[in-house]
Amino acid sequence: LSDSRIEENNVKELNQLSISYNKMLERLSDAFEIQRQFTANAAHELRTPLALMQVQLDLYNSTGHPGNDEDTLQTIRMITEQNDKLSRMVKALLDMSELETLGRDDRIIMDAIVEEALADLEPLAQKNKIKLSGKCGDVTMTGSDILIYRLVYNLVENAIKYNHEGGLVTVTVYQKEKRIYLSVEDTGSGIPEELRERVFDPFFRVDKSRSRELGGVGLGLALVREIVRVHDGSITIRSNPAGGTVFEVVFAQRSI
């Protein structure tokens, strides 16, 4: 075969490969879309009966029912707690399925987002005797401010929840060579190295009973990973030399 003939064949083959690769990608993205839609519909449907139960429980609890015995009150408390947990789970699933539909062109002032998340979590930190601090340079990025707030909030909330009494949580944001670095450091229990990938899986918990005790439903980091993904970033976990964990998120700076 002549050289030009070989080249022609190669180009043909490459074209065919690229067509089947594109078809595969299309099918994959269709499958993801069906799954996303299913999660969104299921979460929507579950939300209404849960909200109705919540209203009934709130009404019941607000009247006090002094005639009730301790057993009944205990049962009602348990139902209220579980209802609240289910509602949080459904909300997290809904948030996750709606992620793709949110715009991502806000100009985000990182300083303001970090300050807001830390202020909102200050009561939880005080309750757990944890000291929060933020070191944020003059950094702006393009993305969804609701989602970036949620990302910081979830990471800091975990850093408080899985910390020791008297512990520290430090949020640091800086920019270097067109990349934005956001890290959340804690002085808590740490995450065993072999489980660091799995903590991002929905419903995965290192210590189920501790997470349950702290009111966790196992979706916080799954949501964090999705938020990082839709912003084309990356997230890694490493040990804090001072004991505990560091979550580090890196975004490429993109202009509108």
- Minimum CB distance to ligand ADP smaller for 158 or for 183: 158
Q: In the chain, what is the greatest distance between 2 CA atoms, to the nearest angstrom?
A: 97
Find the binder of ligand ADP among 143, 167, 220, 233 (CB under 6 A): 220
For ligand ADP, the binding residues in 11-50 under the rule CB under 6 A are none
- Minimum CB distance to ligand ADP smaller for 9 or for 133: 133
For the chain, percent helix, then strand, then coil, each to nearest 5? 60, 20, 25
- Minimum CB distance to ligand ADP smaller for 85 or for 104: 85
In sequence order, which ranges of the chain are alpha helices (DSSP H)?
Answer: 3-63, 70-98, 110-127, 145-161, 208-213, 220-230
**Cα(51)–Cα(69) distance, integer angstroms:** 26
The reply to whether 92 sits near ligand ADP by the rule CB under 6 A is no
Least distance in Å: CB of 203 to ligand ADP?
A: 8
Least distance in Å: CB of 54 to ligand ADP?
A: 20
Tokens of 47: 């939300």
| 179-186 and 168-176 strand pairing | antiparallel
Closest Cα partner for 167 from 196, 130, 204?
130
The reply to whether 162 sits near ligand ADP by the rule CB under 6 A is yes
Query: 3-63 and 70-98 helices cross at what angle (nearest 10)?
Result: 150
The reply to whether 251 sits near ligand ADP by the rule CB under 6 A is no
- Minimum CB distance to ligand ADP smaller for 183 or for 211: 211
Q: Using CB under 6 A as the criterion, which residues of the chain lie in contact with ligand ADP when the complex forms?
A: 158-159, 162, 186, 188-189, 191, 199, 204-207, 211, 216-222, 245
